[in-house]
Structures are given as C-alpha cells and as structure tokens.
Amino acid sequence: DKAAIELFRSQWRDTFEVKRDPEHIYQQVSKGTLPAGIEYWQPLFFSEPLPPLFSYFPANTLLVNTGDLENSAERFQADTLARFENRGIDPMRPLLPPQSLWLRVDELFSELKNWPRVQLKTEHLPTKAANANLGFQKLPDLAIQAQQKAPLDALRKFLESFDGPVVFSVESEGRREALGELLARIKIAPQRIMRLDEASDRGR
C-alpha cells in the first residue's frame, strides 16, 4: 500500500544512496513495482523488526527436522554473510545486513528450545531416554537414469522386491500427471490418496 511504499522510501534514504536510474530498486518501488528479489529489502516496508517465523506457529506445534541442522544453519549464515560482503555494495541493488533478514545461528537454536522437536536421523541411535529407533531402512538409489535403455529399472526392481505400500508424493496436478506417464512405462498405475493412512489400508 501507499503507506508501506512511503515508509520504504524513507528508510531506503536513511540506509542507502538513491539512484535516478529507472531500474534502481528505489525507483521501481516508488512507482508501485515490486521487482524480483524484493524480499531482500522487506524490512524497509515496516517500522518494527520483522518477527521470526516461530511467532506464527500455533501453541501445540511439533517441529520435525532432518539432517544436521546446526551445520546447515552455520553454512547458510556463512553464505549470506559472504553474499553481503561480495555483492552488498552493488549501487543498483545494495543489500541489507543479514541480521536484519535472518536469525543468527544462536538465535535460531534459542528459539528452537521453546518448542517440542523431533530430529530424524538415518544412523542407528544408542538406547537412551530421548532416542527411538524406528523400523525403517534408507531407500536405495531410485533416481531415473535418463541415458539408460531402461531409465526406471532401479525403481521397477525395488517395487518388485518390496511387499509393503509405496507412496509417491507430488507437488501439483501437473507433476502427478507426469509421474503417472513415467510409471505407466513399467506398468505401474498408482491409486490416488489424500492421507498416508489410506496407503496402509489400500496398498498399491
């Protein structure tokens, strides 16, 4: 809205130099255009610091994470700092410091302590109160080998050897149709389900 654009303009002038070039971020926003990547300047549209994502979670939220969260967070923090140092001086697209956009690693883990959390790992865990080893195994490599004569051979062999329900998850109707066409090549016609418990009930 107009008030947010005026606040953006004011805070931009307090933070960066204004260029007259029509492609400059300041000039585009002044005309009501939100250019690609405008989220990197999102704080300039608000008078208060942006609240963290955690502030939007319902009180009964359970967090589930996979992989090495700490290393991933530290790598992301290092990448954003490097990007700021290398590209932050671009006169056409000057960057805000990372701490105005993202939580630091220590802030992230301080927030995480306030929520119940399940951390999923692939390795077998020692027996102790906070650990539970689930009855599952890591999937073999089922990637489509586009250059091979039988690109879905690994998937076909897995489906032939596994006697439990198999769930394929897709992001959109278009991807569902594309997946259906691929699976038809190995004579697989999956049933459409909306909940995981339907897979247990109906199988393949």
pLDDT at position 98: 96
Task: With a cut of 80, say whether residue 9 has pLDDT above it.
Answer: yes
Using a pLDDT cut of 70, give the percent of the chain over it: 98
Strands 117-120 vs 63-66: parallel, antiparallel or unpaired: parallel
170-193, pLDDT tens digit by residue? 999 999 999 899 899 999 998 898
Mean of the per-residue pLDDT values of the chain: 91
Q: What is the DSSP string of 134-180?
A: -S--PPP-----TTSSSTTHHHHHHHHH--S------SSHHHHHHHH
SS3 124: coil
Helix extents (H) in the chain: 2-15, 25-30, 69-87, 105-112, 153-161, 173-184, 196-202
118-174, pLDDT tens digit by residue? 988 888 888 888 888 887 777 889 988 878 888 899 999 999 998 888 999 999 999
pTM above 0.75, yes or no: no
Task: With a cut of 80, say whether residue 200 has pLDDT above it.
Answer: no
Confidence bin at 203 (pLDDT 50/70/90): very low
pLDDT at position 120: 87
Residues 55-82 have a mean pLDDT of: 95
Phi, psi of 74 (to 5 degrees): -65, -40
| Partners of 65 in the β-ladder | 119
What is the DSSP secondary structure assignment for residue 54, as one 8-state letter?
Answer: G
What is the chain's length? 204
For the chain, the structural domain boundaries read 1-50, 51-134, 153-202
pLDDT at position 4: 96
Residues 87-116 have a mean pLDDT of: 95
Confidence bin at 105 (pLDDT 50/70/90): very high
